[in-house]
Chains A and B, each alone.
Chain A
Amino acid sequence: MPNLRDIRRKIEAIKKIGQITRAMNMVAAAKLRGAQTRLEQFRPYGEKFREVISELVASRAVLPSQFPLMAVREVKTVGLVLVTADRGLCGAFNSNLIKEAEKFIAEREAQGQAVKLICVGKKGYQYFRRQAEVLESYTDVMGRVLMQDARTIARRAMRAFLDGEIDEAHVIYGYFINVVRQVPKREKLLPISVEESPEKEDKGFSGAPIYEPSPEELFDQILPMYVNTRIYAAMLETAVSEQAARMTAMDNANRACGDMVRELTLLFNKTRQASITKELMDIVGGAEAIKQG
């Protein structure tokens, strides 16, 4: 029969774990709200960037082949920017991202291409540092997503691309659908390619706009910034998804704690009842024996 004191101790311990998971859940919820606001505030910036670049390309004012960052070449080595969280305890979030990265690597290697990684976030780096070629890693940057960090990372990727270290760059990050759903997403980063903008808003004027300085110079200035924003967007999305995943994971943990406490309390009561019954029987048995004797 289980020991009463052991069960009670276990219940206490699980209740304490429950307190921690509840606190972590609330912290994640607060952080999620903050990160989500930032993501929403970033969107107009990112969208406008994409729009202007695709307009420039569509207007034929610039030729993509002129720009090193848009140059398509035969792919021998692929760069992969993997954005994960710095911390764990967020369910399968990080391992889903890592799995997606492994799938990507396997696909590319099957095509005879080598894959080099740029890891953003500690979890991805910890996993891949021993089993893949890591060009560079950036850890402790996911807590507060800063444009400054995004710029450093983007610069590293662009340098690798321009130096011929890699012939293409892709990014894998945690795409935020809603609070309960986050999925790994793949996007091509370099060479920069734009789809022609489908709908045209009414500009109130017709004809080609003025470019100042020349479209080429302008593009030279804008393209690197565009890569910065892509990396920044990926980091923001991942940060939001991480908090959402942690919130869900901690909520589940909390519920599991409640279930365990309930089961253990039941067991505790049953055990106590059994021991009382046993004691009673002993007493009754003893009294009976005295009476007969």
Chain B
Amino acid sequence: MARILLEIVTPDKVVVSEEVDIVTAPGVAGEFGVMAGHAPMVAGIKIGPLHYRVGDKEEWVAVSGGFCEVTGKKVTFLVEAAEKAYEIDVERALRAKERAEKRLQEAQAKGDRMAEARARAALQRALTRIALAERVKAGLPR
């Protein structure tokens, strides 16, 4: 089966550059899948788990906001952060979660809408990472 080149690029590095069978991503307008031969597309990406499959190999990546561009042979994700599931530091993610929860409470108490939105995003990122890390630990394919 024809494959499509998947690239996940963050400001720090190219996290993934691999020919894949299918990639499923958390789009702003809903989750979507991309396979070879997909029509050109530009899509917004929100915080969440991204999944791709190469043959029998399944991978999960925690991504944060950005966008994705699909051309005939290539799909490029430009996101502010991306971590492969098995590289996630659970301890750090748990600490991030606690921090985000505290910040969220403080922001709500003060009524600071901007800070609240930021804390919510941070919490979302932490929860995605924790969920993915747990999935890897449980050894579940999906």
Q: Is B69 an interface residue (CB 8 A)?
A: yes
Contact residues in A for B32 (Cβ distance below 8 Å):
212
Contact residues in B for A46 (Cβ distance below 8 Å):
11
Q: When A38-B12, A42-B11, A212-B29 are in contact, do A203 and B72 touch as well, CB less than 8 Å?
A: yes
Contact residues in B for A209 (Cβ distance below 8 Å):
39-42, 70
> Bound complex: CA of A48 vs CA of B13, how far in Å?
13
In addition to A41-B12, A218-B67, A221-B28, 11 A-B residue pairs with Cβ atoms within 8 Å of each other are A48-B76, A52-B42, A201-B71, A203-B71, A205-B72, A207-B40, A211-B42, A213-B29, A217-B44, A218-B43, A221-B67
Q: Is B26 an interface residue (CB 8 A)?
A: no
Q: Is A293 an interface residue (CB 8 A)?
A: no
**B interface list, Cβ under 8 A from A:** 9-14, 27-29, 32, 39-44, 65-67, 69-73, 76, 78, 80-81
A49 touches B43 (CB 8 A): no
> Bound complex: CA of A103 vs CA of B80, how far in Å?
35
Contact residues in B for A42 (Cβ distance below 8 Å):
11-12
Residue-wise interface mask of A (195-233) relative to B, using a CB-CB cutoff of 8 A (1 in contact, 0 not): 000000101110111111100011001100100110010
Residue-wise interface mask of A (49-69) relative to B, using a CB-CB cutoff of 8 A (1 in contact, 0 not): 100100010000000000000
> Bound complex: CA of A208 vs CA of B39, how far in Å?
10
Nearest first, the 8 closest Cβ-Cβ pairs linking A and B are: A204-B72, A209-B40, A210-B41, A212-B43, A213-B29, A203-B71, A41-B13, A221-B44
Contact residues in A for B66 (Cβ distance below 8 Å):
225
Q: Is A147 an interface residue (CB 8 A)?
A: yes
User: Which of B12, B39, B78 has the most C-beta atoms of chain A within 10 angstroms of its own C-beta?
Assistant: B78
Q: When A209-B40, A211-B41 are in contact, do A221 and B65 touch as well, CB less than 8 Å?
A: yes
A212 touches B44 (CB 8 A): yes
A203 touches B40 (CB 8 A): yes
B67 touches A52 (CB 8 A): yes
Contact residues in A for B10 (Cβ distance below 8 Å):
45
Q: Which residue of A lies closest to B72 (CB)?
A: A204
* B64 CB, nearest partner CB in chain A, Å: 10
Q: Is A286 an interface residue (CB 8 A)?
A: no
> Bound complex: CA of A52 vs CA of B44, how far in Å?
12
Query: Could you give 19 example pairs across A and B, Cβ below 8 Å?
Result: A42-B11, A45-B11, A49-B78, A56-B42, A147-B81, A204-B72, A205-B72, A208-B40, A210-B43, A211-B43, A213-B44, A217-B28, A217-B44, A218-B42, A218-B43, A218-B67, A225-B65, A228-B80, A232-B11
> Bound complex: CA of A52 vs CA of B76, how far in Å?
11
Q: Which residue of A lies closest to B17 (CB)?
A: A44
Contact residues in B for A217 (Cβ distance below 8 Å):
28, 44
A45 touches B42 (CB 8 A): no
B14, B67, B76: the one contacting A222 at CB < 8 Å is B67
A45, A56, A212, A221: the one contacting B9 at CB < 8 Å is A45
Q: Which residue of B lies closest to A46 (CB)?
A: B11
> Bound complex: CA of A9 vs CA of B52, how far in Å?
69
Contact residues in A for B39 (Cβ distance below 8 Å):
205, 209-210
Residue-wise interface mask of A (30-47) relative to B, using a CB-CB cutoff of 8 A (1 in contact, 0 not): 000000001001101110
> Bound complex: CA of A209 vs CA of B80, how far in Å?
23
